[in-house]
């Protein structure tokens, strides 16, 4: 089980960096994944910009978005988004909240993002639009209270994504790879839709096309292929996360010749 957990933590760090490198996340935004064996918990980084996240930054939370172990670091203010969605949707295994430039014009204008090309079907039909003002009046627009998180989860319903008025978007997936693929293609779709609007009024895919193309786009071999591609792009840019430090120790025992004896340690030997 520790290996499964370590793999998932390393995958989550990589997902953060892929989404940052592909322009979905910037200095803000976050990605979580449900715990591999305890559906009542999820994994999310400490408060840190996604492009910098390492496996050792990942913490475990209850679905009330409280850290399981007392934190030594600052936490994301908007983590209730994740906990409330995991409570409401047993099928969801990964969540991303972002303020991507591609979706912001739609969040600001209050216009729907509709699937305009085959891979854009990942965002689904009739994407809901949540306005915090409706239930909570004037706020700083961050989703920080439990009741705000539950309200957002209700607006999401059974959809794959929800837009937040003048704020951003929240996307869900059945796995981390599915979530990363959906988040990136939803942004590409928004970008294409906005550009096509300069040429006229683009027709969305038909409902049957959205369903068929949506299923195709989320097949395991398809999301693995794009995951590999985006990982390669991140690696080429020198942005791959380090391995988890405890895993390093477990997987690569220090050779005898490299071990420091207590006498050497007392002498302050440096390596
Ligand atoms: Zn936000």
The string of pLDDT tens digits covering residues 24-59 is 999 999 999 999 999 999 999 999 999 999 999 999
pLDDT digits (tens, 9 = 90+) for 67-93: 999 888 999 999 999 999 999 999 999
* Alpha carbon of 223 to ligand 1 centroid (Å): 25
What per-residue confidence (pLDDT) applies to 10? 97
**Average pLDDT along the chain:** 91
Q: CA–CA separation, 204 vs 125, rounded Å?
A: 9
* Alpha carbon of 199 to ligand 1 centroid (Å): 31
* Alpha carbon of 23 to ligand 1 centroid (Å): 15
Going from the C-alpha of 191 to that of each of 7, 62, 149, 170, 185, the distances in angstroms are: 33, 36, 27, 17, 10
Report the percent of the chain where pLDDT is more than 70: 90
The residues facing 268 across adjacent strands are: none
Q: Does pTM surpass 0.75?
A: yes
Task: Identify which of 233, 241, 258, 212 has the alpha carbon closest to the alpha carbon of residue 49.
Answer: 241
* Alpha carbon of 138 to ligand 1 centroid (Å): 16
Going from the C-alpha of 127 to that of each of 77, 93, 98, 112, the distances in angstroms are: 25, 19, 15, 7
The residues facing 94 across adjacent strands are: 33, 173
- Give the active site residues: 78
**Any residues with CB less than 8 A from the CB of 49 and at least 6 apart, and which?**
20, 26, 27, 28
Contact 54, 246 (CB under 8 A): no
The residues facing 67 across adjacent strands are: 61
């Amino acid at each position: 089980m520790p290996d499964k957990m370590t793999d998932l933590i390393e995958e989550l760090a990589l997902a953060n960096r892929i989404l940052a490198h592909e322009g979905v996340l910037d200095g803000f935004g976050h990605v979580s994944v449900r715990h591999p064996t305890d559906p009542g918990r999820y994994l999310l980084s400490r408060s840190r910009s996604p492009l910098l996240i390492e496996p050792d930054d990942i913490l475990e939370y209850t679905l009330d978005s409280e850290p399981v172990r007392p934190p030594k670091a600052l936490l994301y203010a908007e983590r209730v988004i994740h906990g409330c969605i995991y409570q409401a949707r047993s099928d969801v295994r990964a969540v991303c909240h972002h303020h991507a430039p591609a979706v912001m014009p739609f969040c600001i204008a209050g216009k729907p993002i509709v699937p305009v090309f085959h891979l854009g079907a990942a965002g689904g039909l009739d994407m809901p639009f949540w306005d915090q003002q409706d239930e909570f009046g004037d706020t700083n627009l961050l989703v920080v209270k439990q009741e705000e998180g539950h309200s957002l989860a209700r607006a999401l319903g059974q959809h794959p994504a929800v837009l937040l008025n003048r704020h951003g978007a929240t996307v869900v997936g059945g796995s981390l790879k599915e979530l990363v693929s959906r988040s990136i293609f939803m942004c590409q779709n928004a970008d294409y839709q906005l550009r096509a609007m300069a040429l006229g009024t683009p027709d969305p895919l038909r409902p049957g096309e959205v369903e068929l193309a949506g299923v195709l786009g989320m097949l395991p071999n398809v999301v693995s292929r794009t995951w590999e591609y985006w990982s390669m792009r991140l690696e080429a840019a020198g942005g791959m996360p380090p391995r988890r430090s405890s895993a390093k120790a477990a997987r690569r025992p220090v050779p005898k010749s490299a071990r420091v004896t207590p006498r050497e340690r007392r002498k302050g030997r440096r390596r």
